[in-house]
Amino acid sequence: MKKSKNVFVFMILAVFVVSLFAIVGCDEAAEPEIDEPEVDEPEVDEPAAVTRINMGAGWVTGVYYPLAGAMSRIAHTSIDNISLTVESSGASAVNSRMIGSGDLDMAIVQNDVAYYAYLGEGEAFEGNPIENMRGMFVLYPEPVQIVAAAGSGIESPADLAGKNVALGPLGSGAEVNALQVLEAAGLTEGDLGSAERLEAGEAADFLRDGRVDAAFFTVGIGASVIDELSVMADIYLVNIVGDIAESLIDNYPFYASVTIPGDAYSDVPEADTIAVLSMIVCREDLDADLIYDFMSGIFDNIDTIHGAHDVGHLVTLDTALDGMSVPLHPGAERFFEEKGMN
């Protein structure tokens, strides 16, 4: 009985092992060869490869940042192959340097600062030209706005002597402009009571708290940093006119006279000053198709830019080349050529 049970178990095992070999060892040769008919693969829309790019914007309370945010939304909704990350920063000068080092793909910068950066001119860039910077398109005017506390007695830039002054964030275009304005007024930093480099929102806080008498902002009209300050504190804008304005316009090619209307802020009277322009730049080594696609997407959806901030309305195709201060990127060149503009 025991023996026949063993034989039975052995037979079961043998059958199992044989069938296992049959399964495992079943090679392709055993399969009958079927000639697969040649069928055309149906066309499937491959999702486009997405290129991630970053853009150096400026102050969170400025205008670059909300406009760059709008560009990022356009990329997200309407440009298949590009995703855009926005980085806040001190702005123009530091953005230019980060284009040079390759840390940024694109950046918003003042057109005067872009020019000095590209050529390696002026205190900020002397001997260190940012040769890989290329232009994409010009955005809107940025007046040099010297905000002063009521009662500070500052009537003109020359009156900044002995005062505590915020000269713009470190690495900003505002700082570059502030130093040029002081020089045109016959002053140096040493003539001030104190000279501060503060982040834009912090400069506004200092002004509100009486820790500085005046602060320089080169920024689009209506920027929230000045707008909010005008609600919280008694402030006015210092005129930059007469000899000082003339010498700035004569000595630096990008300044133009501008009037800030009386309804720009809360209870801040109209003021005359000088302005530069903001623009978008990128690295030379970015692909021309990428730049072309990006610009097409932005100008096809310009309403989103117009809706992002009051000065967004000033971004138009018609003015996108006025004041361009560095050589165009080939992708931008193609874009403008196709629009009949180059």
Chain positions contacting ligand GLU, by CB under 6 A: 58-59, 62-65, 91-92, 110, 142, 168, 172-174, 218-220, 223
CB 186 within 8 A of CB 149: no
Contacts of 221 (CB under 8 A, 6+ apart): 141, 143, 260, 261, 264, 310, 311
Measured from the CB atom, the residue of 157 and 168 that comes closer to ligand GLU is 168
Residue type, 164: N
Q: How far apart are CA 250 and CA 257, in angstroms?
A: 12
Measured from the CB atom, the residue of 164 and 218 that comes closer to ligand GLU is 218
User: Tokens 């310009």 label which residue?
Assistant: 302
Q: Shortest gap between Cβ of 172 and ligand GLU (angstroms)?
A: 3
Q: Shortest gap between Cβ of 262 and ligand GLU (angstroms)?
A: 22
Q: Which helix (H) or strand (E) holds 117?
A: helix 111-119
Measured from the CB atom, the residue of 226 and 290 that comes closer to ligand GLU is 226
Q: Is 281 left (phi over 0), alpha (psi -120 to 50) or beta?
A: beta
Measured from the CB atom, the residue of 157 and 220 that comes closer to ligand GLU is 220
Nearest CA to 326 among 21, 99, 85? 99
**Assigned token pair, 306:** 């117009």
Q: Shortest gap between Cβ of 266 and ligand GLU (angstroms)?
A: 19
Q: Shortest gap between Cβ of 66 and ligand GLU (angstroms)?
A: 8
Measured from the CB atom, the residue of 145 and 152 that comes closer to ligand GLU is 145
Measured from the CB atom, the residue of 62 and 331 that comes closer to ligand GLU is 62
Closest CB to ligand GLU belongs to which residue? 58
Q: Shortest gap between Cβ of 329 and ligand GLU (angstroms)?
A: 20
Nearest CA to 68 among 197, 232, 220, 173? 220
Measured from the CB atom, the residue of 59 and 292 that comes closer to ligand GLU is 59
CB 174 within 8 A of CB 218: yes
Q: Shortest gap between Cβ of 216 and ligand GLU (angstroms)?
A: 9
Q: Shortest gap between Cβ of 181 and ligand GLU (angstroms)?
A: 13
- Torsion, Cα 169 170 172 176, to 10 degrees, reads 110
Sign of the Cα pseudo-torsion (56, 109, 113, 143, in order): negative
Measured from the CB atom, the residue of 104 and 219 that comes closer to ligand GLU is 219
Q: Shortest gap between Cβ of 132 and ligand GLU (angstroms)?
A: 19
Q: Which helix (H) or strand (E) holds 3?
A: helix 2-24
Task: Give the three-state DSSP class for 252.
Answer: coil
